[in-house]
Structures are given as C-alpha cells and as structure tokens.
Amino acid sequence: MFRKKSKKQTEITTAALPDIVFLLLFFFMVSATIRPPEELLKTKLPQADAISKVNRKELIREINIGIPKNAQFGTEPKISVESRFIDVEDVSRWAVEQKESLPENLKDHMIVLIRSDELVHMGLIADIQEELKKVNARKVVYRTLEE
C-alpha cells in the first residue's frame, strides 16, 4: 500500500533552487564588505565583554597598531593605516585627511577604530590619542573580541 503511494509521488521540482541560492548570494555580497585583512602587522585583539556595536559604518576609520609581520621592518610596535606604515607624528595628519573625506556635517562624528595588539604598551596608544585630540578626532573605539 505504502509502496504504491510513494511510486505515485512526483519529483520535487528544483527549478526554483538557483533563484534561492542567487538570493542568498546577493544578500551576502551586499551585507559583507570586502576588506583585505591587515597584512602588515600582527594584531591579536584583546577580549572584552561590555562591547557595543557601532551603527554608522561610514564614520569609521581604522588604525592598526602591532608588531610588523615582516621582521625587516623591526620588532617594535608600529602603526599602520590602509596598509602603509605611518609614524606617531603623522597620525594627526592622517586623521585630518580622513575627516576631509567625510561630509561637512559629519566631520566631527568621525570614529577612529583602534585595532591594537594586546601586548602593545599604553605609551604608544596614549601618544596616538594625543595626536587625535589635537585635531579633535575624539571618538575612539577599541576594537575587541567577544569573550
């Protein structure tokens, strides 16, 4: 009896499957921004619990601090932005440039995302923050991983 029934059953049409998959594909293409991983520095992020999400992605500018992956650049912590090394003194200039790239009404809302290796000393971080204060880029987010 059962066999008879199952024999009658028609095949499930898979015609709509490509559409579904394409929909998924477009969703991921739109929601995921392609960002090349930081290739110059080793940045093992610290962990934190009380983290919050930054809602306005367009305001974010990233700065990396860590020890160079390539030993020829030394073993001291360095700063990198957009895959190039910069000195501490240049951070304020970089911040001004980044501010300029934003629309006039959003300039003072720029958020500097600090991606720093957990073993970097606070002295360097403080120097960077001083540079940022100089140009009134005072909103910072310490990028951390969830615990």
Work out whether 60 is an interface residue with other proteins (CB under 8 A): yes
Of residues 96, 101, 94, the one with CA closest to residue 79: 94
Work out whether 76 is an interface residue with other proteins (CB under 8 A): no
Residue 126, number of CB atoms within 10 A of its CB: 10
| In the complex, minimum distance from the CB of residue 91 to other proteins, in angstroms, rounded to a whole number | 13
Q: Which of 42, 54, 83, 87 binds other proteins (CB under 8 A)?
A: 54
Are 78 and 65 spatial neighbours (Cβ–Cβ below 8 Å)? yes
| In the complex, minimum distance from the CB of residue 73 to other proteins, in angstroms, rounded to a whole number | 20
* Amino acid type, 92: S
Report the interface residues with other proteins, using CB under 8 A. Answer: 14-15, 17-18, 21-22, 24-25, 28-29, 31-35, 37, 46-55, 57, 60, 111, 113-114, 116-123, 125-126, 129-130, 132-134, 136, 138-144, 146
